[in-house]
Amino acid sequence: MKAKYLVWVMFLALTALWVGLGQNALPEGPGRELVLQKCQTCHEIGFVTRERQNRERWDSLITEMQGYGLRLTPEERATILNYLATQLAPGASVPAPTPAQAAAAVSGAAVYNNCIGCHQANGAGIPGVFPPLAGHVPEILAAKGGREWLIQVMLYGLQGAISVKGASYNGLMPAYPQLSDAEIAAVLNHIATQWGNALPTGQSAFTEAEVKAQRGKNLSAQQVLAARGQLGLR
């Protein structure tokens, strides 16, 4: 019950954002509405519309999404699988995305390539040098103000002594003001859901609007460090 309710809340929050962006790129067919309802709470519908897969592959993709927190009844799952396996089968043609849709289809995994050199592909970082993101981002998200603070780390960087899971760090996290709001939201959603990480109960995916709200604060990396102290991280 509760999980269903949360998915619904996430849906409502994000629909407002994505309405009109991706809908037309999904072909008509039974189950289309359900796909729109369920498959764009964590990422744009472009993640779905660009795929052409057979039934078996769609089946395992849905299972993968359930691992990320997608909640479906068995009936809903069957409806969605039928829709995807029929409408987005190999070779199926679909209305070409508009430029706005193409711009919105930002992949968090691609943006994360900027981070791999330090935080590593597996998010484990390098103890004492680069802090881990695996197993750690949810702790930051769970702290009061942690969501906004993560956005500030991306926009303004972080410098100075910190401690993560008992290890000390005193390095420099570069700022990424050159990334778009969509790219920052996408990479944060990526690190919040990879390597066993998950968004805390009740939190939905980062949006461009949230990132935008943190721009223009002109914080220094030291000020971001001071703000970290307010989060009450252990």
List residues binding ligand HEC (CB under 6 A): 38-39, 41-43, 47-48, 51, 61-62, 64-65, 68-70, 80, 107-109, 114-115, 117-119, 130-131, 133, 136, 150, 153, 158-160, 162, 164, 169-174, 176, 187, 190-191, 193, 228
Smallest distance from the beta carbon of 93 to ligand HEC, in angstroms?
18
116: which 2 tokens?
């791999």
Would you call 164 helix, strand, or coil by DSSP? strand
- Report the nearest approach of ligand HEC to the CB of residue 43 (Å): 5
CB of 37 or CB of 98, closer to ligand HEC: 37
Cβ neighbours of residue 91 under 8 Å, at least 6 residues apart? 52
Q: What is the smallest separation between the CB atom of 66 and ligand HEC, expressed in angstroms?
A: 8
Give the nearer residue to ligand HEC in terms of CB position, either 69 or 135: 69
Tally the residues of the chain.
234
Cβ closer to ligand HEC: 24 or 76? 76
Q: What are the start-end ranges of the E strands in 125-230? A: 158-164, 167-173
154, 176 in Cβ contact below 8 A?
A: yes
Q: Which two tokens stand for residue 102?
A: 């193409």
